[in-house]
């Protein structure tokens, strides 16, 4: 076994969730098609309970485009997308040298996060979580995502 390229691109939680969904994972174990291994299912379980379930490809692309003025590193952007901080105190551990780099505009950044990624009904402690809208729709032309994300081509299901 040879390692050709060790880190060929960072994936946000949403992308992994999307990939597992397209392979056929679902909440209900009886509806799962054979191709999903039990360990992959556990990953799916974890991701479905995280903020990734209410994100869409478009909202992530939008966030990346709009947070450019804040000059965040790729890993910080990925972190924010994965955690979705909704207050200044939550975003504090995610970004290094917060005060010297962002100062006052931290609040604007938090506002942007909350706008682009609305909280899922779970977080509002409401009943009934709608499943993520299967709108993998437009492949965004925005290549400047957090990491070199390869083309999300359609997976050939067996």
| Residues at the site binding other proteins, with contacts judged by CB under 8 A | 1-13, 15-16, 19-20, 23, 37, 39-40, 42-43, 45-46, 50, 75, 79, 82-83, 85-87, 89-94, 96, 147, 150, 155-156, 158
Q: What is the dihedral of CA 109, 112, 116, 122, to 10 degrees?
A: 80
Considering beta carbons, is residue 76 or 116 the nearer one to other proteins?
Answer: 76
Q: What is the DSSP string of 94-150?
A: GSTTHHHHTGGGHHHHHHHHHHHSPPPTTTTT-S-PPPPP----SPP----SSS-PP
Least spacing, CB of residue 30 vs other proteins, in Å:
20
Nearer to other proteins, 62 or 74 (CB): 74
Minimum distance, C-beta of residue 146 to other proteins, in the bound complex (Å): 11
Task: Identify which of residues 17 and 132 has a Cβ nearer to other proteins in the complex.
Answer: 17
Q: Which pair of structure tokens corresponds to residue 32?
A: 């799962």
**Minimum CB–partner distance for residue 49 and other proteins (Å):** 8
Contact present, 53 and 132 (Cβ < 8 Å): yes
Comparing CB distances to other proteins, the nearer of 93 and 137 is 93
Q: How far is CA 119 from CA 33, 35, 59, 85, 113, in A?
A: 30, 31, 13, 10, 10
Query: In the complex, what is the shortest distance from the CB of residue 147 to other proteins, in angstroms, rounded to a whole number?
Result: 7
């Amino acid at each position: 076994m040879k390692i050709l390229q060790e880190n060929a691109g960072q994936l946000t939680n949403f992308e992994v969730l999307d990939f597992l969904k397209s392979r056929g994972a679902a909440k209900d174990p009886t509806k799962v098609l054979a191709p999903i291994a039990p360990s992959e299912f556990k990953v799916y379980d974890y991701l479905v309970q995280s903020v990734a379930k209410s994100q869409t490809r478009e909202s992530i692309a939008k966030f990346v485009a709009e947070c450019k003025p804040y000059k965040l590193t790729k890993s910080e952007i990925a972190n924010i997308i994965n955690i979705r901080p909704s207050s200044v105190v939550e975003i504090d551990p995610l970004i290094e040298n917060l005060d010297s780099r962002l100062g006052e505009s931290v609040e604007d950044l938090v506002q942007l996060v909350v706008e682009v990624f609305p909280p899922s009904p779970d977080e509002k402690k409401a009943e009934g979580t709608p499943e993520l809208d299967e709108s993998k729709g437009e492949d965004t032309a925005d290549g400047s995502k957090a990491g070199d994300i390869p083309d999300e081509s359609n997976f050939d299901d067996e």
